[in-house]
Structures are given as structure tokens and as C-alpha cells.
Amino acid sequence: MSMPILMTVDDDPSVSRAVARDLRRRYGSDYRVVRADSGADALDALREIKLRGDAVAAILADYRMPNMNGIAFLEQAMDLFPHARRALLTAYADTDAAIQAINVVDVDHYLLKPWDPPEEKLYPVVDALVETWHAVGDRPVEETKLIGHRWSRPSYEVRQFLARNSVPYRWYSVDEPEAVRLLEAAGATREEIPVVITPDGKALRAPTGPEIAAAVGLSTEPAAEFYDLVVIGGGPAGLGAALYGASEGLRTVLVEKKATGGQAGQSSRIENYLGFPDGVSGAQLTGRARRQALKFGAEVLTARDVVGLTVRGSARVITFGDGSEIATHAVVLATGVSYRSLQAEGIERLTGQGVYYGSASTEAQSCSGEDVYIVGGANSAGQAAVFFSRYARTVTLLVRGPALERSMSYYLIEQLRAIDNVRVRVCTTVEAVEGEEHLERVTLRDASTNTTETLPTNHLFVFIGAAPRTEWLGDAILRDSHGFVCTGPDLLREGHRPQGWTLDRDPLYLESSVPGVFVAGDVRSQSVKRVASAVGEGAMAVALVHRYLEER
């Protein structure tokens, strides 16, 4: 096979030659560098490459080109090579263009000219592009097929599971002719949907998460019975702990119930995370973190439900839902939080059938030209409103409080104000949702006027509150009145250590009431609910694990 291609597009011949020269110097042994002087010429070259069956790993395009600027070119290039990674070459004055490119063509990076020295400014960007391309690929993949119904809650849950675990799949509505043929070939009926057909032809009828995970090649079984560190929860805090634990020589396993990323992984765009001035989607950020943890040797178990944590001598024992166990020297609890249930008539019946918790990106296309309602006033709700504004006719943000400023970042508020099809309704709650097979209407109450209004909609997304879901921990691990786990100084009441504490020292800063069990991220009492702080606490927890292990 021929080498994959790095393409550079710039109408300035001197710049074009310079980019190609620097790329060949670093990547010439593994990639073929192709350069073009205009967007039109580059598209012609990409068509020829497509016909030859070659792969394009990354495209670097100048923004300021006549006739067709870099954004317009990249938008067309995506149709030919959707998995090729994309970077926009811009001048300092073109920052707005770079932001536009993020929204229109989802560029991975923008690169300011000049980029000298390339070792500092060019190569790290291209390294990231090709690393991501190798992880995602630009070659035919064996797809998992999913047959279901748009308004089926189990079908929605399987779609979310596959999407959040980055499993390539093709969706077939049960009424499509091809879906009928697939069901017949699989010996299944429409009453058994959702039906998952794996690349090797195995048909799973109404499968559970663990069944799907095992069938599509996700790791579900631990490789050992004993570890140095078990991390429970795969959000930013858990990924941070797994990465640092594995990179520092601890035999580490991360256990996740659904998919790595947590709530952050569902964010359409995180723009205030340090080191990503052009923003990054939650899936991109947490996907990179997962690959990084795996690179250092961490195990990642998916679709495993942890139901118990007990102390047996010096070991901490984790019990799974199927009754199996693994033991460890130390534990990091990073289970995060879940969105609280919306208290409104009809919610439970219509969840997954027009009512969704979190940003259901799999529903974006179905929102095209429709009216979407989003409940919540924090950053996650604002990010979802920006995301769905690209598809929906209107997006209405329903906020219980009198203003957004108390709960949402300023930059996000300003973005929402600039989007024509986004509306914000403050002092507003959802009183009821209605529909036969799916959501059809929502009733809103305006607290300022004490009036109600019923409006038609098929899409309601909920981002309210934070419930830690820590009931499974039992009584040994002390929690506050809301269920968040207490740690460190918060465990010392009137100078006394927590009941049952067996060590001569006080609990370490992120240590729970059980020695060797540490807590990081949103599940910790009094934590700062931010992605950056969660990652930091995951790293800090590993440092404290080392201290704990040294004193044993």
C-alpha cells in the first residue's frame, strides 16, 4: 500500500513550499506530502487520490485564498475524506475565521503564521493530527448494524452506548426495506428490536450493555485478580487518575459502567479548558485521554457495574454486579454525578422517546428544522444550546432562576446572545410533557406571572442538578447529606478522626473515611464542578496513593 498523504493548500507559493519542506523533513519517511496552490486544485487532487484508493491523514489549508477560502475548501474536502484531520492556517487577524471554522467544519487546530520554529509550533500540531487519524482511521471499517425505532427507548439507549464508546455503526429504522431484510436474515422480528448485528454476523436481540461491549470488542473482563490501583468511574477525574497511575508504574484498571468521558464526554464543545484556545468537544478530549491512559498500560473495563467496596485486611475488594470480584491496594472513587430526574408529569414514560438527559448527539440530525427545548442554566445546557442551534429551527433554554449569570460562564452567555435562533426563558419550569408514542407537547410554567403555556415539540433535553448515586458504598464511607463523599479535613469533626479509622495519622486530603480509598472529581463533597479541577484531583489522588502505599 502507498503511504498516507499529508496535504497542504496555500495560494502563496513561498508559503506552500515552506510548509511542504517542513512536513517532508519530519514526516517524509512515513507520509507522502502533496501541496496545492488553490482550493480548486486541491479538490481535483483529492478526487484523484480517492479514485486511486489512497488515504489522506491530514489537510492543512490557508484561510485567505481567493475564489475559495480555507473553510469552504475544507467543507468540500470533508465529503471526500471525512476522517482526514483538518487544520486551518491563519494570521493573527483571522481568529474569528478560526472560530467559524470550528463551528462549520470542526477543524482540529488552527495554526498561526509564521510557525517558526516548526519544532515548537508546527510539528506538535501535526503530531496531534496524525495521532488522531491513526486512532480514528480513514479506511473502510467493519460496521456494526443497529435496527431499531426512532421513538424506542431501548433503541435510543443502544445508539447512545455505541456512539459514546466510539463504535462505528449504521442505523436502520425498522420500517426501512433494508432493515426488514436484515431482520429476516437474522431470524428476528420487529418485536425484538433493538437488534444489533456485529461485523462477524452475530445478531443480538434487545442486548444489554455488557453483551454489546463483549460482541464489539470492548474490554469487559479484568486481566488480573489483584491490582495496585482500581479507578471507579471513567470521567475526567477517573481518566486523570488512570493515566497518572499507569504512567507512574502502578498496575491500574479503570472500571466504567457505561462509557468513558462521563458528563464531560457528552459536551458538544468545551471552550474554557486550559490549552485548547479553539475549544474541544468533550468526546475528543476524553477520547484522547482514554487513548493516553491505554498507551501507558492502564486497563479500561467498559459496561461493568460496581455494586460493592469492602475491606479485607490490607486489600480493598471491588464487587461487580455479576458477583465477581477484583482486589487492590488502593481505590480512587471518581464516579461523578448524574443528572437529576425532572419532576414533571409524564417524564418517566417519555424518557428516551423525545425526553433525553444530557446532550444526545445521536438525535442532532432528527432535530433538523424543529423546535428544541433545553432545561438547565449551567454550562452543559448552554453548550447543548449552541450545538443544537446548528440543526434546529429554534432552541429555547428553560432556566428556573431569574438570570443565567449565576450559573453559566460569561463567554457562553455571550455566544448564546449572538445566535439568532436561540431564546432564553428565565423563571420557567416544565410542568408536564405529553404524547402517545413519543413526546408531542410540553407545558411550561412562568413563575413570574404564574401562568402556563403548552407548546408543540418532539425534543426536550434535560441538564439539571447533580446526584452522586453513591448509595452502593454502604455505611463505611462517610457521605454528606446530599450523598457526596467526604474526604480529608472534612472528616475531622471537633478534632476527632472518623469512626472506624485504623491509622495513627489523619486522613489525607482526598482520602475517604476508609484508608486507601480516595475520591476525585464531582462525587467528592465540596468539589469544584469543572473539568480541569476533576483532572487535577485525579492526578493528585494518585500522588496521595503513593504516600499511602509507602507507609504500608
| Domain residue ranges in the chain | 5-136, 144-215, 226-338+467-550, 347-462
* Res 254: pLDDT: 98
* Res 403: pLDDT: 93
What is the CB-side half-sphere exposure of residue 84 using CA atoms within 13 A? 27
pTM (2 decimals)?
A: 0.75
How far apart are the C-alpha atoms of 382 and 271, rounded to whole Å? 12
CATH topology of domain 226-338+467-550: FAD/NAD(P)-binding domain (3.50.50)
How far apart are the C-alpha atoms of 441 and 197, rounded to whole Å? 34
How far apart are the C-alpha atoms of 332 and 120, rounded to whole Å? 35
Matching CATH topology for 226-338+467-550 and 347-462?
A: yes
Phi/psi-derived region of residue 394, left when phi > 0, alpha when psi is between -120 and 50, beta in every other case = beta
What is the DSSP code string of 36-60?
ESSHHHHHHHHHHHHHHT--EEEEE
Q: Is the peptide bond prior to 114 cis by the omega test (within 30 degrees of 0)?
A: yes
How many angstroms separate the Cα of 543 from the Cα of each of 39, 330, 454? 50, 12, 54
CATH topology of domain 5-136: Rossmann fold (3.40.50)
The end-to-end CA distance of the chain, in Å, is 54
Q: What is the pLDDT of residues 455-490, one digit of tens each?
A: 999 999 999 977 898 999 988 899 999 999 999 999
In contact, 534 and 241? CB cutoff 8 Å: no
How far apart are the C-alpha atoms of 439 and 349, rounded to whole Å? 10
The CATH code for residues 347-462 is 3.50.50.60
- Which of 176, 202, 201 lies closest to 190 in space, CA to CA? 176
Cell numbers 408531542 correspond to 440
* Res 99: pLDDT: 58
What is the CB-side half-sphere exposure of residue 110 using CA atoms within 13 A? 25
Place domain 144-215 in its CATH homologous superfamily: Glutaredoxin (3.40.30.10)
Cell of 323: 458477583
Q: Which residues of the chain have pLDDT under 70?
A: 1, 92-106, 136-142, 268, 278, 359-361, 494
